[in-house]
Amino acid sequence: MFAMRACRSSIMIGKALSRRQMASVLSHMGEMDKPWNCPHGRPTMRHLCSLGAAWDKSGRSWGGGGPDVDDNLEQGDNQPIHNTEWGRFLRKRRRAAKT
């Protein structure tokens, strides 16, 4: 019952959000153990790259973009366009919130 109520009161597809609301959602999702699906199994986000292109050489960072975004990329051209270190992002946001 709680899972159903939480899902029904959540942000639905097509809901317009301000930048502040989007940042809040991402911050909260970054603190969850499994943010990929709602309790009913519906996806909570759209993945825009393959897992092979998602990790940097250290295995720590997620990268947006990658070979699955554009199938015409040449072999070896699979470097992520942008890396986001979620731990660093959250620490920075928490520090900013304290000031």
pLDDT tens digits for range 12-43:
778 888 889 988 888 888 888 888 887 777 78
Tell whether 9 is covered by a domain. no
Query: How far is 80 from 61, CA to CA, in rounded Å?
Result: 10
pTM over 0.75: no
Domain that holds residue 50: 19-98
Question: Whole-angstrom Cα distance, residue 16 to residue 12?
Answer: 9
Q: How many domains is the chain built from? A: 1
Interaxial angle between packed helices 86-98 and 19-30, expressed in degrees from 0 to 180 and rounded to the nearest 10: 120
Residue 14 phi/psi, 5-degree rounding, is 90, -5
* 95: pLDDT strictly greater than 60: yes
Residue 5 is assigned to a structural domain of this protein: no
Do the domain assignments include residue 13?
A: no
25 in any annotated domain:
yes
70 belongs to a structural domain: yes
In a domain, 90, yes or no: yes
